[in-house]
């Protein structure tokens, strides 16, 4: 009996061996199109779709949920997880296959510009800071300026899909602060053991720090750059109109420390232009007329919008006071409208400008030589442009050189430009950073903002590489001291100029409504200067549109409709 039992047992084993030998196990193949990497919080996919199962005997095998083990997978937790498939065919042969999936946490950053990527800021953060957060990567998205507020506001309001860090121009940031979407950046800086906030605050250009504060004085946003403006002008054209500029003794408009020759006359033409020709908005009109009267086919500016930065003078007033249009500011607006009308004429021979719109082909071309304005057979040269810091490198410099017929670059107007003061200090642009108050990654978000605005060595490296103007005084003083002069500007040190000018800027008048109000006003300024409306008609229509846009409370009873 024993021998029989043993024999049967032996047969049973042989039978199993034969089964394995002739029945091939199923084959589990990963679909190449199936993603194995997901962002944190993603919707869990149908794991059955990840693989195909084929079997020699059974053909294609349809998977069921009980053949897929996803018990360890959590789409809301960063890390790597195993999805295990176990399939048994009709012959009893079983195959297991494990697929490793990765769920990535990311720091979401939105901006109005791509410079965080092109200038290496994101790469710098990932190299120097992300290790603290297990290699946390940045997901970066650029939204066009004109669509930015309408795109981001619904997300900030709902809390769904909002970025951890986002940028904005000053008026945008003012709106985000006003509506309570920005975290307390000041407290984060105070909690940082590596930073003394009083030292940092004193090192920032005042207007940049103040622009990021809420009404209670708490810092909620900060910018790495500073964007003071200037009037850039061509010396070759200025010397044609005022050939004896260097024989002029500084007037009472010039500071007492202005540099002069031994005989007390101006040493530098940019000082002469700053204090004798560009010193008030009224003087700009006089200067523009002098240029026309020289009868050399030169225009002071490309168009009358070049004076829009000087509409409030040295004592700017707020658009809005106590929830309504400010009558005092409107008196400044009326003065500006009247000067703008002086600058405009359809008669190109007599008009103060070349009637060339900003950003048009002729506007750019005027930086390198004579242009023919639209509908004109006469060539004119443009002497000056009102632009901020970034205009020097991104607008004037690439256009100051021109190609000859052999596509070789010659000098054009390169080296003939200088930078001068206008009637008042102004700024144009600037990228401010804030942290969403509902972000679950505030520590990483703070370190991202820190890497851009508080990491002095990074800011110094950036300033050295691109020549732009930054918001830290100590860095810009260091750069200015080492700088040998800008060849585009004939050796003039633009850092010295812009650092001084940036510290004059007053943002106490800036409100979250400025961009919209400026845009509305421009329509009626255009109609007035073209004689399509009287001054009173233009102002009445402006007030009506403001009322329709913002409500009755924006229009008080004492708004002016004529000059004082």
Q: For residue range 102-157, what is the model confidence (pLDDT) as tens digits?
A: 887 899 999 999 999 999 999 999 999 998 987 888 999 999 999 999 999 999 99
Residue 313 pLDDT level (bands cut at 50, 70, 90): low
Lowest mean pLDDT, pick from 215-219, 402-406, 489-493, 555-559:
402-406
Q: Is residue 443 classed as helix, strand or coil in its secondary structure? A: helix
Residue 389 has pLDDT above 50, yes or no: yes
**Structure confidence at residue 10 (pLDDT):** 31
Let me know whether 452 and 466 are in one domain: yes
d(CA 451, CA 435): 13
Lowest mean pLDDT, pick from 271-275, 511-515, 542-546:
511-515
3-class secondary structure for 309-350? HHCCCCCCCCCEECCEECHHHHHHHHHHHHHHHHHCCCCCCC
Write down which residue in 36, 70, 104 finishes a domain. Answer: 104
> For residue 405, is it within any domain?
no
Question: Exposed e or buried b for every residue in 332-344, given b needs 16+ CB within 10 A?
Answer: bbbbbbbbbbbbb
Tell me the pLDDT tens digit for each residue of 419-474. Answer: 999 999 999 999 999 999 999 899 999 999 999 999 999 999 998 888 889 999 99
Tell me the pLDDT tens digit for each residue of 149-182. Answer: 999 999 999 998 999 999 999 999 999 999 999 9
Let me know whether 176 and 89 are in one domain: no
Could you give the angle at the alpha carbon of 44 between the alpha carbons of 42 and 48, nearest 5°?
145
Between 445 and 76, residue with greater pLDDT: 445
Let me know whether 243 and 348 are in one domain: yes
> For residue 411, is it within any domain?
no
> For residue 270, is it within any domain?
yes
Q: Provide mean pLDDT across the span 530-559.
A: 95
Q: What percent of the chain has pLDDT over 90?
A: 81
Residue 399 has pLDDT above 80, yes or no: yes
**Structure confidence at residue 3 (pLDDT):** 37
d(CA 317, CA 323): 14
Residue 184 has pLDDT above 60, yes or no: yes
Let me know whether 81 and 223 are in one domain: no
> For residue 488, is it within any domain?
no
**Structure confidence at residue 405 (pLDDT):** 58
Q: Under a CB-based contact definition with an 8 Å cutoff, are residues 490 and 478 in contact?
A: no
Could you give the angle at the alpha carbon of 517 between the alpha carbons of 516 and 519, nearest 5°?
65
In 401-534, where does DSSP find H-type helix? 442-453, 456-466, 473-482, 494-502, 514-529
Beta bridge partners of 51: 30
> For residue 296, is it within any domain?
yes
Helix or strand run (H / E) with residue 2: helix 2-22
Domain extent for 95:
25-104
Q: Under a CB-based contact definition with an 8 Å cutoff, are residues 242 and 234 in contact?
A: no
**Structure confidence at residue 384 (pLDDT):** 99
> For residue 394, is it within any domain?
no
**Structure confidence at residue 318 (pLDDT):** 92
Q: Provide mean pLDDT across the span 372-398.
A: 94
Let me know whether 273 and 363 are in one domain: yes
Residue 79 pLDDT level (bands cut at 50, 70, 90): confident
Residue 312 has pLDDT above 80, yes or no: no
Residue 6 pLDDT level (bands cut at 50, 70, 90): very low
In 167-234, where does DSSP find H-type helix? 170-178, 185-191, 197-203, 206-211
d(CA 99, CA 85): 8
Write down which residue in 81, 104, 127 finishes a domain. Answer: 104
**Structure confidence at residue 408 (pLDDT):** 59
Q: How many domains does the chain have?
A: 3
Pairing of strands 402-403, 409-410: antiparallel
State the DSSP string of 371-430: B--TT-SS-BEE-EEEEEHHHIIIIIHHHHSEE-TTS-EE-TTTT-EEEE--SS--B---
For the question of whether the overall pTM of this predicted structure is more than 0.75, the answer is yes
Residue 15 pLDDT level (bands cut at 50, 70, 90): very low
Let me know whether 65 and 88 are in one domain: yes
Contacts of 154 (CB under 8 A, 6+ apart): none
Let me know whether 99 and 110 are in one domain: no
Question: Exposed e or buried b for every residue in 255-270, given b needs 16+ CB within 10 A?
Answer: eeeeebeeeeebebbb
Residue 160 to residues 110, 118, 176, 356, Cα–Cα distance (Å):
14, 28, 16, 45
Tell me the pLDDT tens digit for each residue of 33-75. Answer: 998 888 878 889 999 999 999 999 999 999 999 999 998 899 8
**Structure confidence at residue 41 (pLDDT):** 81
Contacts of 22 (CB under 8 A, 6+ apart): none
3-class secondary structure for 280-305? CHHHHHHHHHHHHHCCCCEECECCHH
Q: What percent of the chain has pLDDT over 70?
A: 94
Residue 379 to residues 365, 376, 400, Cα–Cα distance (Å):
12, 8, 17
Let me know whether 359 and 238 are in one domain: yes
Tell me the pLDDT tens digit for each residue of 236-256. Answer: 999 999 999 999 999 999 999
Q: Under a CB-based contact definition with an 8 Å cutoff, are residues 421 and 230 in contact?
A: yes
Residue 407 has pLDDT above 90, yes or no: no
φ/ψ of 433, rounded to 5, equals: -115, 135
Tell me the pLDDT tens digit for each residue of 27-38. Answer: 999 999 998 888
Let me know whether 167 and 93 are in one domain: no
Mean pLDDT (the chain, rounded): 91
Q: Is residue 159 classed as helix, strand or coil in its secondary structure? A: coil
d(CA 86, CA 12): 26
Q: Under a CB-based contact definition with an 8 Å cutoff, are residues 71 and 408 in contact?
A: no
Let me know whether 65 and 84 are in one domain: yes
Let me know whether 517 and 381 are in one domain: yes
**Structure confidence at residue 2 (pLDDT):** 37
Residue 358 has pLDDT above 80, yes or no: yes
> For residue 478, is it within any domain?
yes
Residue 409 has pLDDT above 80, yes or no: no
Q: Under a CB-based contact definition with an 8 Å cutoff, are residues 431 and 223 in contact?
A: yes
> For residue 564, is it within any domain?
no
Between 219 and 403, residue with greater pLDDT: 219
Let me know whether 260 and 212 are in one domain: no
Lowest mean pLDDT, pick from 176-190, 304-318, 512-526:
304-318
């Amino acid at each position: 009996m024993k021998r029989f039992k043993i024999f049967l047992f032996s047969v049973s084993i042989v039978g199993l061996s034969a089964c394995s030998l002739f029945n091939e196990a199923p084959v589990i193949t990963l679909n190449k199109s199936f993603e194995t990497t997901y962002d944190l919080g993603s919707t869990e996919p149908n794991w059955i779709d990840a693989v195909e199962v084929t079997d020699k005997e059974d053909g294609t095998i349809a998977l069921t949920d009980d053949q897929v083990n996803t018990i360890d997978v959590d789409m809301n937790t960063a890390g790597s997880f195993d999805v295990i498939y176990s399939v048994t065919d009709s012959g009893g042969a079983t195959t297991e296959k494990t697929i490793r999936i990765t769920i990535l946490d990311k720091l979401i950053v939105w901006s109005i510009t791509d410079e965080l990527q092109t200038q290496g800021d994101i790469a710098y953060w990932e190299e120097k800071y992300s290790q603290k957060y297990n290699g946390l990567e940045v997901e970066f998205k650029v939204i066009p300026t004109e669509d930015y507020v309408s795109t981001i506001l619904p997300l900030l309001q709902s809390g769904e899909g909002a970025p951890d860090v986002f940028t904005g121009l000053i008026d945008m940031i003012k709106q985000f602060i006003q509506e309570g979407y920005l975290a307390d950046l000041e407290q984060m800086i105070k909690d940082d053991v590596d930073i003394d906030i009083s030292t940092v605050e004193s090192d920032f250009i005042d207007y940049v720090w103040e622009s990021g504060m809420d009404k209670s004085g708490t810092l909620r946003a900060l910018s790495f750059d500073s964007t003071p403006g200037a009037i850039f002008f061509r010396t070759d054209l200025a010397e044609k109109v005022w050939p004896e500029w260097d024989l002029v003794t500084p007037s009472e408009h010039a500071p007492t420390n202005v540099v002069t020759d031994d005989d007390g006359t101006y040493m530098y033409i940019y000082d002469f232009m700053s204090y004798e020709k560009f010193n008030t908005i009224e003087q700009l009109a006089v200067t523009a007329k002098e240029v026309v009267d020289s009868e050399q086919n030169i225009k002071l500016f490309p168009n009358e919008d070049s004076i829009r930065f000087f509409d409030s003078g040295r004592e700017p007033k707020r658009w809005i006071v106590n929830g309504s249009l400010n009558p005092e500011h409107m008196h400044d607006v009326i003065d500006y409208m009247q000067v703008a009308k002086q600058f405009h004429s359809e008669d190109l021979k007599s008009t103060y400008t070349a009637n060339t719109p900003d950003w048009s082909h002729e506007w750019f071309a005027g930086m390198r030589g004579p242009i023919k304005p639209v509908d004109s057979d006469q060539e004119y040269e443009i002497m000056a442009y009102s632009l901020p810091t970034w205009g020097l490198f991104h607008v004037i410099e690439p256009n100051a050189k021109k190609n000859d017929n052999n596509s070789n670059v010659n000098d054009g107007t390169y080296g003939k430009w200088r930078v001068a003061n206008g009637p008042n200090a102004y700024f144009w642009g600037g990228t401010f950073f804030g942290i969403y108050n509902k972000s679950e990654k505030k520590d990483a978000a703070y370190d991202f903002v820190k890497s851009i605005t508080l990491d002095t060595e990074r800011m110094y490296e950036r300033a050295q590489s691109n020549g732009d103007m930054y918001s830290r005084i100590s860095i810009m003083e260091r750069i200015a001291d080492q700088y040998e002069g800008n060849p585009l500007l004939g050796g003039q040190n633009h850092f010295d100029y812009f650092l001084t000018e940036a510290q004059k800027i007053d943002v106490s008048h800036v409100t979250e409504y400025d961009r919209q109000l400026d845009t509305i006003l421009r329509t009626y300024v255009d109609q007035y200067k073209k004689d399509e409306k009287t001054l009173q008609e233009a102002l009445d229509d402006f007030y009506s549109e403001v009322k329709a846009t913002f409500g009755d409370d924006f229009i008080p009873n004492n708004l002016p409709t004529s000059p004082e």
